Amino acid sequence: MTPFNRDYWIQHITRLVNRDYRPHLDESQALLKEQSVDDFDKDEKPTIVYKQVINEFKLPTFKKGKTFSQVLFDLIDKKGIDEVELYQSIDISRALFSKIRTDDNYRPERKTVYLFIIGMRLNMEEAIELMKGAGYIFHSGDKTSWVIHHCIGNGLFNKSIVDEILIHNQENPLFSEK
């Protein structure tokens, strides 16, 4: 860990979270806006054109990315992490870890993904890849997401400090009970 003390990290990460956290995105700032068909004039209503597919042509198929399990175990192998030590250090049950290993379609809770990110000391690229495998992103409207994001960015993987920062930001801790 870096030479700064616990209070420094709590204050520093909290400032970063408060700077970046956006609980309510104004509709004018949204990238995509929802529109109803009733919002259009009679002559301007959008139309959908359907094309017939000839038997000799195949529709394009899109390969789904790696699953959470595949990404997780690739990272465990790459980093040379002992699986038993990992799930014990982040307080994941043996049964849950076994389920993740055997079920390729298992989708963990966001909290579980955060536990693995901190427990495995992943860099930002690896963390994003793991989140993507689980079907999540770092969300701008979620304080816990910002705390984890900034802890990774600052190389802060001490479980008790991460929990203190979360509690300081009125969020539930990951590794301990509130």
The percent of residues above 90 in pLDDT, for the chain, comes to 52
Which residue did the predictor score with more confidence, 69 or 24? 69
In tens, the pLDDT along 77-132 reads 999 999 999 999 999 999 999 999 999 888 999 999 999 999 999 999 999 999 99
Could you tell me how far CA 122 lies from the centroid of its own chain? Answer: 12
**What is the three-class DSSP state of 144?**
helix
At CA 107, angle to CA 106 and CA 109, rounded to 5? Answer: 135
Q: What pLDDT, on a 0 to 100 scale, did the predictor assign at position 150? A: 93
pTM (predicted TM-score)? 0.73
Of residues 65, 80, 72, 154, the one with CA closest to residue 115: 72
Looking at every residue in the chain, the average pLDDT score rounds to 80
Say which residue the tokens 């495998």 belong to: 133
Sign of CA dihedral 104, 109, 110, 116: negative
Q: What pLDDT, on a 0 to 100 scale, did the predictor assign at position 91? A: 92
Q: Is the pLDDT assigned to residue 42 strictly greater than 80?
A: no
Which residue did the predictor score with more confidence, 52 or 170? 170
The percent of residues above 70 in pLDDT, for the chain, comes to 75
Residue 108 and residue 68 in contact, taking contact as beta carbons nearer than 8 Å: yes
In tens, the pLDDT along 47-70 reads 444 344 444 444 443 345 789 999
Confidence of residue 29 (pLDDT cuts 50, 70, 90): very low
Which residue did the predictor score with more confidence, 52 or 142? 142
Q: Is the pLDDT assigned to residue 178 strictly greater than 90?
A: no
